[in-house]
Amino acid sequence: CHATEESDVENYLESPNCKSSRTKKKKPLVECPACKNKRDFEQGEFKLLWLFYLESFISSIFVFFPAFMVIYFIDSGFSFFQISLLTTILLFFRLLFEIPTGAIADLYGRKFSVLLGLLIGGIAFFLILFFDNFHSLIFIFGLLGFAGAFESGARESWAIDLIRKEKKNLSHNYF
């Protein structure tokens, strides 16, 4: 809230702009006057951050990937142990390469890191469909973990850098 003192809220309640003080007998719950007319998007926000919103929407589709992955691999003849080992390899590679890929993002830029991670991840997801050998899938899931490490943290940093570059005051609401 932008109101710094209780008197600010009381002054707003007594002002002619406050519709709630005239219509209700009880003391209403009042939002800060500066926050009163909030829109879904701030001025210029969607134009600046549309790519991040699109990527977030597409990524949310993959939330169900692990459930379908289990069904797909069981149907392909893998055991639960092998499936859990593939998942563990993905997470292990993501953890292992977190710092080196962060250094790459610092050296070559966050945009480069995110786009490279999305490219490697897309290729790896595509390759899953063509390989049913467990050893090949170990490599592919390691590649997925590597790709996830490229994206981790760099996406948010890229958005913040873009907001600061455009001198917008949007970052306090989202990151």
Angle at CA 47, nearest 5°, toward 44 and 49?
100
pLDDT tens digits for range 95-141: 999 999 888 988 998 889 888 998 999 999 999 999 989 999 999 99
Q: Which among 49, 54, 56, 59 is positioned nearest to 122, based on CA atoms?
A: 59
How far, CA to CA in Å, does 165 sit from each of 46, 48, 162?
15, 11, 5
Helix spans in the chain (H): 6-14, 20-23, 45-61, 65-75, 80-96, 98-108, 110-128, 134-151, 154-165, 171-174
Q: Is the pLDDT confidence value at 79 over 90?
A: yes
Q: Is the pLDDT confidence value at 11 over 70?
A: no
Q: Is the pLDDT confidence value at 30 over 50?
A: no
